[in-house]
């Protein structure tokens, strides 16, 4: 065995042991959001903090540094090995800037924040969440200072979710996207509104659950390598590519609540299940970025899951499950109803157009919080002001307003923009899939998603973090991110649904 091979195996073993610690913590976090009894909150917070601190100490130890430095100077690594070392060195340098004590303190604050958010939602009162959230915000501002940044402290936060993503890029993206969506939205407002009342009738919880499982199976979610559960806010997590967990939530008087969260989280899960098993614990065994991750969920949720072709197969099955609420509903009415465009309160239930106004609002608030121009106490009033300004809706209470998302309680500042960016990537990927796999639409009509998954397994999943988001997009579609694909997609779709030239 050569010296390089021995060193690389030592590096791989070290990172995989660190991954074991991280994923053990992730199991505890999953349980925290699904089954943990309320009295276990404090002890669970301590357990997660200890594992987070331990993993950070192991990763930033001198032994990790010496291994990486030695391997960086080796010229007989193969391409994938070399890229793993480069990315691990980048991660090491970044994590080294954060003291382990700070990592523990942040984990403890986030645990406190999460459980305060749960209680605040139950009581419909932001006041109960305000102080724990401000503690997390202050720690995030401190984290930005420790990591370092150019131009805006929020850049340090965004970089955590998509390497190189900046305020300047995102501001420019929204300044291009929002005006075009506003034009389309105004055109839709002048047309007769489509009906979706049938989605708001009574749909039995257990039958909804069974139907959601059917949809996941049709997507080829591997239930031998994952499971679905119920949580306050739908999410996906993984502990390896062979253990991926999704959650959903069910409203018996809103069929859409569960259905598209199942499809959305299923898209995330397929990506995680498709990552290389052989690269467990290494950068090439991790997802490219949250923007690419969200492209997978938005691709399945919208481009596929809200298409007429998809429901040509699933709608008859749906009607057999729910004959009464859908008694007088045909496929055309159903398709138009599930794509109804109207300003609303809840981001996760928003249509494909107004969704991006929801994201913009959160993005703008987060920038102000991290730069320090507002505090957590200001969130409800600014939130309500922005919802009236951008969407023309009046926020009736905190639960349907600034308490609706779990992200801030998790300390996930810098995440939200990836939803919009991911939607743009999704439309671009969908365009390429259909250009390269000419039978995609016809196959969807028969419930066959194999061609779609085949394309994703060859063009997105196997690369892990080898490429940046933009490089992966170029490789898969032949060009950098191009918002025109999304604009063309929504214009064509909604011109047809709302019948305007």
Residue at which a domain ends, from 91, 123, 158? 158
- Residue 119 is predicted with a pLDDT of 96
pLDDT at 485 over 90: yes
Average pLDDT over residues 18-42: 95
User: For the chain, how many structural domains are there in total?
Assistant: 2
Percent of the chain with pLDDT over 70: 100
Q: How many CB atoms lie within 10 A of CB 474?
A: 14
The structure tokens 């060009």 sit at: 479
Mean pLDDT value of segment 492-498: 97
Rounded to an integer, the average pLDDT of 471-479 is 98
Is residue 225, in this structure, part of any structural domain at all? Answer: yes
Two tokens, residue 25: 């913590």
Statement to judge: residues 122 and 226 lie in one domain? no
Q: What is the pLDDT of residue 233?
A: 86
pLDDT at position 437 over 90: no
Q: What is the CATH number of the domain that holds 198?
A: 1.10.1370.30
Q: What is the pTM of this model?
A: 0.95
Whether residue 165 lies inside any domain: the answer is no
Report if residue 163 sits inside a domain. Answer: no
pLDDT tens digits, residue range 383-392? 999 999 999 9
Whether 217 and 340 share a structural domain: yes
Considering the domain architecture, whether residues 46 and 86 belong to the same structural domain is answered as yes
| Domain boundary pick from 126, 158, 190 | 158
Instruction: Give 381: exposed, middle or buried? Use CB within 10 Å, 0-12, 13-18, 19+.
Output: exposed
Q: In this structure, are residues 244 and 272 in contact, taking their beta carbons and an 8 Å threshold?
A: yes
Mean pLDDT (the chain) is: 96
Burial of 262 (0-12, 13-18, 19+ CB in 10 A): buried
pLDDT, tens digit, 9 for 90 and up, residues 173-231: 999 999 999 999 999 999 999 999 999 999 999 999 999 999 999 999 999 999 999 99
As a whole number, mean pLDDT of residues 331-338 equals: 98
Residues 6+ apart with CB under 8 A from 177: 356, 420, 424, 483, 486, 487
Q: Could you write out the DSSP letters of every residue in 74-108?
A: -S---HHHHHHHHHHHHHHHHHHTS-HHHHHHHHH
- Domain extent at residue 431: 171-498
What three-state secondary structure class fits 19?
helix
- The helix (run of H) or strand (run of E) holding residue 248 is strand 243-248
**Residue 36 is assigned to a structural domain of this protein:** yes
Residues 62 and 101 in one domain: yes
| Same domain for 153 and 219 | no
% of the chain with per-residue pLDDT over 90: 97
In terms of domains, do 151 and 214 share one?
A: no
Domain-embedded: residue 243:
yes
Residue 441 pLDDT more than 80?
yes
Reduced to 3 states (helix: H, G, I; strand: E, B; else coil), residue 413 is coil
The b-or-e profile of 29-45 (16+ CB within 10 A means b, else e) is bbebbeebeeeebeebb
> Dihedral of CA 116/118/124/126: which sign?
positive
pLDDT computed for residue 1 by the predictor: 75
pLDDT at residue 156 tops 80: yes
pLDDT band at 139 (very low <50, low <70, confident <90, very high): very high
Closest CA to 231 of 124, 121, 127: 121
Tell me the sheet residues that pair with 251. 254
The band of 411, judged by pLDDT with boundaries at 50, 70 and 90, is very high
Chosen domain end from 110, 126, 158: 158
d(CA 497, CA 452) in angstroms, rounded, equals 24
- As a whole number of angstroms, the distance between CA 155 and CA 172 comes to 14
Q: Are residues 119 and 247 in the same domain?
A: no
Q: What is the pLDDT of residue 487?
A: 97
Q: What is the mean pLDDT of residues 40-68?
A: 96
pLDDT of 438 above 90: no
> 146 and 232 share a domain?
no
Answer yes or no: do 74 and 217 share one domain.
no
Question: What is the model's pLDDT at position 34?
Answer: 95
How far is the C-alpha of 57 from the C-alpha of 423, rounded, in Å?
36
Instruction: Cite the active site residues.
Output: 265
Task: Give the model's pLDDT for residue 362.
Answer: 98
What is the 8-class DSSP label of residue 194?
A: P
Residues 178 and 219 both lie in one domain: yes
**166: in domain:** no
Mean pLDDT over residues 101-129, rounded? 96
Give pLDDT, residue 501.
80
């Amino acid at each position: 065995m050569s010296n390089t091979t021995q060193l690389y195996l030592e590096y791989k073993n070290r990172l995989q042991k660190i991954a074991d610690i991280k994923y053990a913590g992730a199991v505890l976090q999953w349980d925290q959001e699904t089954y943990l009894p309320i009295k276990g909150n404090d002890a669970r917070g301590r357990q997660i903090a200890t594992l987070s601190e331990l993993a950070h100490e192991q990763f930033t130890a001198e032994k990790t540094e010496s291994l990486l430095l030695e391997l960086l100077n080796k010229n007989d690594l193969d391409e994938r090995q070399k890229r793993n070392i480069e990315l691990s060195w980048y991660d090491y340098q970044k994590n080294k800037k954060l003291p382990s004590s700070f990592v523990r303190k942040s984990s403890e604050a986030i645990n406190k924040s999460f459980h305060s958010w749960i209680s605040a939602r139950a009581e419909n009162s932001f006041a109960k969440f305000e102080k724990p959230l401000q503690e997390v915000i202050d720690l995030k501002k401190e984290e930005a200072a420790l990591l370092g940044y150019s131009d805006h402290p929020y850049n340090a936060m965004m970089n955590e979710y998509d390497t190189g993503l900046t305020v300047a890029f995102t501001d420019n993206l929204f300044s291009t996207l929002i005006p075009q969506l506003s034009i389309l939205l105004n055109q839709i407002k002048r047309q007769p509104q489509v009906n979706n009342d049938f989605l708001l009738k009574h749909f039995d919880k257990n039958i909804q659950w069974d139907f959601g499982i059917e949809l996941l199976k049709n997507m080829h979610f591997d239930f031998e390598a994952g499971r679905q559960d119920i949580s306050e806010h739908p999410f996906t997590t993984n502990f390896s590519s062979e253990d991926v967990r999704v959650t959903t939530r069910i409203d018996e008087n809103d069929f859409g609540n569960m259905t598209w969260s199942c499809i959305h989280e299923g898209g995330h899960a397929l990506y995680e299940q498709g990552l290389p098993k052989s690269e467990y614990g290494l950068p090439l065994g991790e997802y490219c970025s949250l923007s690419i991750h969200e492209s997978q969920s938005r691709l399945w949720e919208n481009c596929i899951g809200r298409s007429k072709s998809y429901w040509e197969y699933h709608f008859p099955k749906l009607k057999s499950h729910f004959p009464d609420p859908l008694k007088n509903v045909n496929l055309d009415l159903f398709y138009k109803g599930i794509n109804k465009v109207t300003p609303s309160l809840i981001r996760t239930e928003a249509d494909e157009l107004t969704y991006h106004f929801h994201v913009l609002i959160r993005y703008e608030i987060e920038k102000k919080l991290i730069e320090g121009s507002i505090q957590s106490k200001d969130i409800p009033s600014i939130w309500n002001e922005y919802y009236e300004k951008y969407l023309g809706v009046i926020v009736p209470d905190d639960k349907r307003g600034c308490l609706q998302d779990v992200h801030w309680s998790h300390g996930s500042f810098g995440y939200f923009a990836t939803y919009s960016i991911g939607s743009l990537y999704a439309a671009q990927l969908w365009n390429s899939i259909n250009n390269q796999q000419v039978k995609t639409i016809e196959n969807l009509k028969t419930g066959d998603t194999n061609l779609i998954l085949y394309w994703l397994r060859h063009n997105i999943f196997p690369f892990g973090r080898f490429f940046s988001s933009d490089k992966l997009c170029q490789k898969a579609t032949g060009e950098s991110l191009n918002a025109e694909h999304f604009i063309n997609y929504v214009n064509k779709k909604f011109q047809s649904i709302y019948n305007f030239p």
